[in-house]
Chain A
């Protein structure tokens, strides 16, 4: 089966709309969102409403729990409740060929919603996290820096960011994870109307610097 994983949309509707069109091409069997629907742009409600309408299983990200500041105060009461009640972790427990293996989805890390699991994190520490969480495959977001790291027979995957990439490539990013007898990871990048998203920031009370960050992806 093919699973699409995405995160860190950060209220960027042009990126999110393009992402939704792009995943349709791949026809995934399931789609999971690793959190941070809001913050840094003007369309939090549009994103949340569409995620709810499509019933995409979604984790809470650290920004989803923030309530003060312009970007967060845009969220309406009903959507705020939705965000507050989102799960922190989702575990997919597979039993293929009599072998158990666990895919764990978290926003930051399996310990904390705002811990960064970066690509160069000490290997023994990553293994400690994964042992503690009983994870064979750990999928996270939060840093907006996509990578796939293999440690022995374990995998750590950062899904990158749909709406606020920070790896110098302004194109949105998500992951396709295919489960067969082994697992296969593909990073997908898509171009979207960055200017529309950047202008929306400039025409809002948000810091204009955020627009520049979208254009240059840092």
Chain B
């Protein structure tokens, strides 16, 4: 079966619409959203409404967690004072525009979704999280120490761990105790950070041969799609949001 996974839309409606147009013809059997629907652009309510309208199962991202609780903290790890100042404006703006019903939706989203398969008389657990299984805002970068990554996955009983949050897609296969573990960062629909401004998402292929002892039996397809970046960037510039967010969209 073909499972589409997407996340980190960040209130970018043109990117979300382009994602739907791209994913529909690929006919996935299921679609899951790994959170961060809001923040950094002007369409948080519209993005929430589009995802709800389609009944797409969705988990909470750190930004959603903050906005759902009307908090001024999005749990984001801003590095510089400038980034912190920009971040403050973004979360204040988002708190102001998100409506009650949409906020209630964000507040009651699950933190994780776990799918437990039983194929080839063996279990195969797929865990969907936003940041890490331990914390909604923990960044799991590709260069993380192998032992640490394995420990996180073993503790969470996850053979396949899919997550977003860093906006930098990768698929890393680790091995321990004669089994393979798949760590998959699915990238970002609406705010890519890998120097490619196109939106990104993942198609995960699970079939009757899929097992934790066969490395190639779980396939991950990274898809990139063009969208109207200018429209999304201009929307930022015409709003109270810092113009820096528009440049980030243009440059990925």
B: contact size bracket: 20 to 34
**Contact among B28, B58, B105, B118 with A55 in the assembled complex (CB-CB below 8 Å):** B28
Please choose the segment from A24-32, A146-154, A166-174 that sits at the chain B interface, where 4 or more of its residues have CB less than 8 A away. A24-32
Interface assignment of B183: CB less than 8 Å from any CB of chain A: no
> How many of chain A's residues have a CB under 8 angstroms from any CB in B?
33
Which residue, of A30, A32, A91, A92, has the highest number of chain B Cβ atoms within 10 A?
A30
Which residue, of A53, A57, A88, A95, has the highest number of chain B Cβ atoms within 10 A?
A57
Q: How many A-B residue pairs have CB under 8 A?
A: 87
Question: CA A57 – CA B115 in complex, angstroms?
Answer: 10
- A179 neighbours in B (Cβ, 8 Å): 108
- A90 neighbours in B (Cβ, 8 Å): 113-116
Contact A29 B113 (CB under 8 A): no
Contact B111 A93 (CB under 8 A): yes
Interface assignment of A87: CB less than 8 Å from any CB of chain B: yes
Contact B208 A93 (CB under 8 A): no
Interface assignment of A81: CB less than 8 Å from any CB of chain B: yes
Chain A interface, >50% SS class: mixed
Those of A1-41 within 8 Å (CB) of chain B: 1, 27-32
- Among all A-B residue pairs, the 10 with the closest Cβ atoms: A93-B112, A91-B114, A89-B116, A87-B115, A95-B111, A92-B110, A1-B108, A30-B57, A85-B1, A179-B108
Residues of B within 8 A of A (CB): 1, 27-32, 52-53, 55-58, 104-105, 107-119, 126, 206-208, 210
Q: Can you add 4 more A-B contacts, CB < 8 Å, to A87-B117, A93-B112, A96-B108?
A: A85-B210, A89-B114, A91-B113, A91-B116
